[in-house]
């Protein structure tokens, strides 16, 4: 008997599309809550999507609408050509691991996990084999004969995850599937789960607060804030081409250095004057001359107000025309975070390995034009990434 063979071929999956999906709770009350606001998300067959955002931004609401446990206020959810948002949950063929686990207390863990397959009349021996396989993967093979109230929160969470992963569904929705686990176990399981999802070509949307987890697991990440999808892109694009100031400051550890700045013109050269918190000049960076081709940043106007961003790991230390003063440095075991005062503004830099510098000492700094991100002052949308226009064909 070939373990798992036929399991994935049976499934006919297709694109899962969220089309302007909106959720308003208590719409008729005096305090309606718009939890999800016109979210567009086309998810490819077999794609792994991370839904990332702060508490209350609408992640669980989004998953529950896909699963059918919450109605859609407006918009449409489709699997392939099939509109599913008016179907009852049981007819959507979607598996979900809930934030609150939702295990059945009177059933042993083994029966909780095998429940959907037994209900769908899969042979008992096949279900037993699959339960063994998925619980081995998640390191809960030793609690299969216990009942939900008698196991730990981390074990309940993995049981709930196993109950979803074992299924044969069009889409898998995992709401913070590993939040209860310690970092070491999480890292091990993350790799195994990723392998499980990829091998079986499982279309997956998982929710997390943890950007490291999102980056490690997801093909693409949907960053949400205030019910609005801020950007839906690959982990690399989120870092290198953040769509707006929110994503730029949300993704990346330590966060991007961001300054209010204004454009100046000096002969045929443009540059930026970055400000400190009080609005005074902190430092200047020159942008490539007009002779440099391509130079789309020439669209910037003299005096234009912008936000300037630079990632800590793109700051070059010990070279360049800016002079700063080291204010702090923290060795984190594999890299050093260095606080530098530039004018009266603070710049955080990351150096690989141990960085030898005394607090209070001067340091030369370069901020290469290719590492600068420029955002519109008012809309906070990205204008340039490394001197390339932010708006390019997606
Ligand atoms: N049943 C409900 N009735 C009214 N408002 C709700 C309901 N469920 C959620 N909300 C509100 O909708 C917004 C989004 O909630 P949601 O649970 O989707 O957030 P989340 O991103 O999953 O947060 P967390 O990370 O804390 O789990 C919040 O403002 C929340 O208070
Ligand atoms: Mg939630």
Output the six-digit token pair for 68.
């059918």
Per-residue model confidence (pLDDT) at position 293 = 53
Counting ligand 1 atoms within 8 A of each CB, the residue from 23, 33, 100, 224 with the most, and so the one to mutate, is: 33
- Report the chain (394 residues): mean pLDDT per 10 consecutive residues: 38 80 97 97 97 96 97 96 93 93 96 95 96 97 97 96 95 95 94 96 95 95 98 96 97 96 89 96 86 65 96 94 94 92 96 86 94 96 90 56
Distance CA 139, CA 135 (A): 6
H runs (alpha helix) in the chain: 7-10, 59-67, 109-119, 124-137, 153-165, 183-199, 211-217, 235-240, 245-250
Beta bridge partners of 328: 339
- Is residue 375 in some structural domain? yes
* 268 and 207 in a common domain: no
* 285 and 223 in a common domain: no
- Is residue 55 in some structural domain? yes
Per-residue model confidence (pLDDT) at position 389 = 84
Whole-prediction pTM? 0.91
* 197 and 145 in a common domain: yes
Query: From ligand 2's centre to the CA of 237, what distance in Å?
Result: 25
Name the 3-class secondary structure at 317: strand
Counting ligand 1 atoms within 8 A of each CB, the residue from 27, 29, 50, 58 with the most, and so the one to mutate, is: 58
Please check whether residue 334 is in contact with residue 365, taking contact to mean a CB–CB distance below 8 angstroms.
no
- Is residue 184 in some structural domain? yes
Distance CA 341, CA 23 (A): 45
Own/partner pairs, 117-124, CB within 8 angstroms, 24+ separation? 117/166, 117/167, 117/168
Would you say the CB of residue 148 lies under 6 angstroms from ligand 1? no
Q: Which domain holds residue 302?
A: 257-389
Per-residue model confidence (pLDDT) at position 3 = 38
Per-residue model confidence (pLDDT) at position 295 = 59
Counting ligand 1 atoms within 8 A of each CB, the residue from 51, 60, 180, 230 with the most, and so the one to mutate, is: 60
The bound ligand whose nearest atom lies closest to the alpha carbon of 55 is: 1
H runs (alpha helix) in 200-242: 211-217, 235-240
Per-residue model confidence (pLDDT) at position 292 = 59
- The domain tally of the chain equals 2
CB atoms within 10 A of CB 86: 11
Please name the residue that has the structure tokens 């036929």.
6
Query: From ligand 2's centre to the CA of 281, what distance in Å?
Result: 42
* 311 and 165 in a common domain: no
- Is residue 121 in some structural domain? yes
- By alpha-carbon position, which residue is closest to atom 17 of ligand 1? 60
Query: From ligand 2's centre to the CA of 209, what distance in Å?
Result: 9
């Amino acid at each position: 008997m070939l373990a798992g063979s036929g399991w994935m071929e049976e499934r006919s999956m297709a694109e899962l599309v969220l089309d302007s999906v909106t959720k308003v709770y208590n719409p008729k009350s005096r305090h309606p809550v718009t939890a999800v606001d016109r979210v567009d998300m086309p998810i490819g067959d077999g794609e792994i999507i991370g839904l990332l955002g702060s508490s209350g931004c609408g992640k669980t609401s989004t998953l529950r609408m896909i699963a059918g446990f919450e109605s859609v206020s407006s918009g449409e959810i489709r699997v392939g050509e099939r509109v599913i948002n008016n179907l009852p949950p049981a007819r959507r063929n979607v598996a979900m691991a809930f934030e609150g686990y939702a295990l059945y207390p009177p059933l042993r863990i083994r029966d909780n996990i095998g429940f959907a397959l037994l209900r769908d009349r899969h042979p008992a021996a096949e279900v037993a084999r699959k339960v063994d396989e998925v619980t081995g993967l998640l390191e809960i093979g030793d609690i299969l004969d216990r009942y939900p109230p008698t196991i730990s929160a981390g074990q309940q969470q993995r049981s709930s995850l196993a109950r979803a992963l074992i299924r044969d569904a069009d889409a898998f929705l995992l709401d913070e599937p590993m939040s209860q686990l310690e970092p070491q176990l999480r890292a091990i399981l993350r790799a195994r789960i990723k392998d499980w999802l990829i091998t079986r070509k499982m279309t997956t949307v998982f929710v997390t607060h943890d950007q490291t987890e999102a980056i490690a697991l997801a093909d693409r990440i949907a960053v949400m804030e205030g019910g609005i999808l801020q950007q839906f892109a690959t982990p690399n694009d989120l870092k290198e081409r953040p769509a707006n100031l929110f994503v730029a400051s949300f993704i990346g550890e330590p966060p991007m250095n961001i300054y209010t700045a204004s454009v100046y013109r000096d002969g045929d050269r443009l540059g930026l004057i970055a400000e400190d918190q009080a609005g005074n000049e902190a430092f200047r960076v020159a942008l490539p001359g007009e002779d440099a081709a391509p130079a789309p940043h020439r669209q910037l106007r003299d005096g234009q107000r912008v936000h300037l961003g630079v990632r800590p790991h793109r700051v070059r230390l010990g070279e360049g025309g800016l002079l700063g003063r080291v204010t702090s440095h923290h060795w984190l075991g594999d890299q050093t975070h260095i606080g530098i005062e530039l004018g009266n503004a603070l710049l955080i830099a990351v150096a690989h390995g141990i960085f030898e510098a005394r607090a209070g000492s001067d340091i030369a700094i370069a901020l290469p034009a290719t590492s600068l991100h420029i955002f519109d002052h008012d809309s906070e949308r990205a204008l340039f990434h490394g001197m390339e226009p932010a708006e390019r064909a997606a």
